[in-house]
Homo-oligomer: A and B are copies of this chain.
């Protein structure tokens, strides 16, 4: 269950304060010239250490251990290793027997009878490092087929950005600290974030990711639907509590005549006048942009006092979670959602035979 995918399969490992995190990519097509700089750049996009991010210092250098020969993929497993460098577990020693509210401490103990209390262990957002590394490979494959997966923070702390041009939105978002597609909105959101920092609190938001130029025909009826697969992929990211495609929850308020996307002929091919469907009909891509949104909960680690339980004595206690938390994880979640969407698309394209086993 630490493996994701059918043909393009990614298996990840690693605890937040363990020796390393990493992954094995199995099923990557042979013959891909792998651009390690691109991978490094994607890692940088997710990396901690930014203005509003965790102060943990991780260069996140990816060592590729296998599957590459003379710069080209062999079709064999690509193992990627990222050493954990800046580990400071002190903040966790004091609260090592207290379940942190909003975290997985209790549920891991309920499941496994044991958990690594240092920095969230396996349940930490650090696990997503490996996803971004794998996603960077997926993106390179997609690039060969003209497909681009881009994202941004659509909403932070209730401040929502309307987006008309996805490419432009991405461009703007990449340049600001909160990765929002509207600079004015971003300034307002920054104020909220700074307020949250002052209060020792945290904020949530919504990530929107768009895949452009996706061919029609991806997705497998009835339990491998593209949208179901995307929902699975995105909901598997820590802190995500909701996923929607196209108009998403708004469809509940629409009439069929409003929601149906009319079909027409464009340059001799079937196309849709609107994209309420978000690029998926009957679980299969329809050739329009895939549009997906994820609701990100506020980081559960807050320094405000909360009530919880010390399981070693089974007594109620008060807890303040110190450590180097992101006051708002939303910007750093963007490349993670992109990574998951990219992996899903590569996998579906391989299942459909559009991406061959060798390029």
B251 touches A241 (CB 8 A): yes
A235 touches B241 (CB 8 A): no
A50 within 8 A of B: no
Number of residues of chain A lying within 8 A (CB) of chain B: 150
With A13-B24, A107-B282, A242-B244 already in contact, the answer to whether A65 and B19 are too (CB < 8 A) is yes
A227 partner residues in chain B, CB cutoff 8 A: 235, 240-241
Q: Which residue of B lies closest to A196 (CB)?
A: B255
Chain A, residues 221-252, CB within 8 Å of chain B (1/0): the string is 11111011111111110101111111111111
Q: Which residues 49-79 of A sit at the B interface, judged by CB distance below 8 A?
A: 63-67, 69, 72, 74-79
B22 touches A79 (CB 8 A): yes
A298 within 8 A of B: yes
A351 partner residues in chain B, CB cutoff 8 A: 7, 357
B66 touches A21 (CB 8 A): yes
A15 within 8 A of B: yes
Tell me the complex Cα distance, A202–B257, Å.
7
Say which one of A35-43, A112-120, A139-147, A174-182 lies at the interface with B.
A112-120
Within the complex, the shortest CB–CB distance from A221 to chain B, in Å, comes to 6
Which A residues are within 8 Å of any B CB, using their own CB?
Answer: 1-4, 6-7, 9, 11-15, 18-22, 24, 26-27, 30-31, 63-67, 69, 72, 74-79, 81, 99, 101-104, 106-108, 110-116, 121-123, 127, 155-158, 196, 199, 201-206, 216-225, 227-236, 238, 240-265, 268, 270, 273, 277-278, 280-287, 295-302, 304, 306-309, 311, 314-316, 351-353, 356-358
In the assembled complex, 20 residue pairs joining A and B whose CB atoms fall closer than 8 Å, in A order, are A3-B3, A3-B223, A13-B67, A15-B69, A18-B69, A19-B64, A22-B79, A104-B281, A106-B281, A107-B284, A110-B270, A112-B357, A114-B358, A123-B282, A158-B253, A222-B236, A228-B233, A232-B232, A251-B296, A260-B306
- The 5 A-B residue pairs with the shortest CB-CB distance, nearest first, are A104-B282, A1-B224, A242-B244, A1-B220, A232-B232
